[in-house]
Structure 1
Amino acid sequence: MTADALRTPVPVVRGDTSLPAGYRHPHASEEARRIAEEGTILRVQVGSGVHGTSITGQDDRDEMGICLEPPAHVTGVARVPAGTGAESAMVEFEQYQRHTVWDRPGGLANRSGAGDLDVVVYSARKWARLALAGNPTVLLLLFVPDAEVVHRDEAGVELVENAHRFVSQLAAGRFIGYLSAQRAAMTGGSGAHTNRPELVAVHGYDTKYAMHALRLGLQGVELLTTGRITLPVREPDRTYLRAVRRGEVPFDEVVAAIDDAEQRLIGLRASTSIAAEPDRAWVDGWLHRSYLRHWARS
């Protein structure tokens, strides 16, 4: 029996697709919110909570979704306002992005914390472009366990069932790039900055960036060797990542672990056992039939 035959069927999850009200942000107009809500096919939790690396009382909730926009935004040139109160400035609909922390004094300058919701719902076409390029952040949406799924309809099910079609050497390059950026921020490398000075003050470096750099390395290796990302992160890696985040692992040991994961990714990027390109033809077909079915029901 094949691995595909043994895989548990992906269920439809009918959930609440409502989103926080619009805001004065280029991707947060009320019209963009309506498009995202009405067209959502998949929405999940994607932050530290789903990785299993969160620290109690410290983390916000991050969600990501995919939506199918109306025909005028795909076959035409329709646009949406660039945020509330900006009806004269119009932008192409690519996503609805909203952080509830913006509602407090300080607005867009605020940093999300415990109890806040950060949510982004991408146009399916934009999400697909990012996923085909191997973007680690958007690929994660395909591997979230059912318990962390907010909403998933039939189009979302089909997408998740075909997650393997996005695995390619391009993903290896993207994981390496994201890992390198997190490592640079962790160590204060050239062009990097941290918005968590409290961690640097206590540990001498940004332990959250360190944890994310190592997590990206571990998950990238898993994706490229198995075609999947296990969520939450498998043990003993999960416990080790949490220890890194708490500053319990010596700096030199953390750097060595990140470097080792990076070298494994570099090796996998050159492996002939991994497809050079994702299955773009399948993705094109999925987008085409998903949009047509959605429009027929609207």
Structure 2
Amino acid sequence: MGTPHTLLSGIVGSTAYGLAREGSDIDRLGVFAVPTEELHGLRRPAETHVTRAPDSTLHEAAKWCRLALAGNPTVLELVWLPDRLYETRTPLGDELIGIRTAFVSGERVRRAYLGYATQQFKRLYDRGDGTFSVDARHRTAKHARHLRRLCHQGYTLYTTGRLEIEVDDPQAYFDFGERVARDAMAALPMLDDYQDRFDRTASALPDEPDEAPVEAWLRRVRRHFYGAGA
């Protein structure tokens, strides 16, 4: 992945979950730092770089931290990947992995993961009764797999304090996706069940994220790249 100051990057998405099939895209996510002096000018540098073919997204360090503190499921994956999926690891990137639990809190994880899952369900429901094209059915099945994964990952993180990236039973996710592709409402009982589980279960996570180590890490990044040039 290509900016001059990538701190941490790896393969995320279906490959990381164990849900990739022939023809699946390989998605990459990373964190980079701009030279600190660029933050003092009239115009702020871009905070996100997205490329296609290959598919990659890089967030600037401060933006990545803000997203992670909000419980964003996609960005949080980056600091919980198996070692084999990292493609760039620097000392500052390893430090970020080391403070990963500081980013998460019970209410924000619940809100983010259930919120994303609910968005996926709305996409499924809006597609109608399953009488659409083959391509649309494939997209619907994919969104259904995302819904199931978000519910499971979010609940596991909420109750154990750990984010599980790879799913236990990939075939169950594909079977679920096919059922939902035939009838979007087939996803609703599972979504309702997880909402009930969140309601009934005390979280292992703190009420608020611990911003102090995050702030300290970001300041180390700024010191490290002061005078680094473009």
TM-score, normalized by the shorter chain, greater than 0.5? yes
Partner SS for 1:65: strand
| Higher mean displacement: 213-222 or 158-167 | 158-167
Cα 1:67/1:178, change in 2 over 3 Å: same
Distance 1:138 1:95 in 2: 12
User: C-alpha separation between the residues in 1 aligned to 2:172 and 2:68?
Assistant: 28
**How far is 1:249 from its partner?**
8.8
For residue 76 of structure 2, what is the aligned residue in structure 1?
A: 139
Greater relative contact order (Cα < 8 A, sep 6+): 2
1:295 aligned to 206, 211, 226, which one? Answer: 226
| Aligned with residue 159 of structure 1, among 87, 93, 96 | 96
RMSD between superposed Cα atoms in Å: 2.6
Cα offset for 1:294?
3.1
- Paired residues in the alignment total 224
Aligned counterpart in structure 1 of residue 38 of structure 2, from 56, 70, 73: 73
Structure-2 separation of matches of 1:240 and 1:222:
17
Give the C-alpha shift of residue 98 in structure 1: 1.0
**Residue type at the aligned position of 1:211:** R
Higher helix share: 2
Counterpart of 1:98, as a letter, is: T
Quote the Cα distance in structure 2 between the aligned partners of 1:136 and 1:74: 27
For structure 2, which runs of at least 5 residues remain unmatched after alignment?
none
Deviation per residue, 1:7-31 (Å, 9 max, x gap): xxxxxxxxxx43xxxxxxxxxxxxx
* 2:150 corresponds to which of 207, 212, 216: 216
1:187 aligns with one of 107, 110, 125: 125
Q: Identity rate of aligned residues, in percent?
A: 29
Where 1:228 maps in the other structure, the secondary structure is coil
TM-score when normalising by structure 1: 0.68
| 1:38 to 1:151, Cα distance in 2 relative to 1, 3 A | same
Paired residue type of 1:225: T
* Aligned residue among 19, 25, 46 for 1:53: 19
In the alignment, the residues of structure 2 paired with residue 227 and residue 297 of structure 1 have an alpha-carbon distance, to the nearest angstrom, of 36
- Is the partner of 1:41 in helix, strand or coil? strand
Task: Please give the alpha-carbon distance, in whole angstroms, between the structure 2 residues aligned to 1:259 and 1:224.
Answer: 17
SS at match of 2:40: coil
Residues 216-273 of structure 1, C-alpha deviations (whole Å, 9 max, x = no match): 000001111122222212x23x3311322345897455432232123323445xx465
**CA displacement 1:65-120 (0-9 Å, x = unmatched):** 001111233233344xxxxxxxxxxxx411111112xxxxxxxxxxxxxxxx2111
8 Å Cα contact 1:135-1:174 kept in structure 2? yes
Structure 2 counterpart SS, 1:96: strand
Cα distance, 1:277 vs structure 2:
1.1
Task: Report the counterpart of residue 23 of structure 1 in structure 2.
Answer: none
Are 1:227 and 2:161 an aligned pair? yes
Residues 179, 262 of structure 1: 8 Å contact kept: no
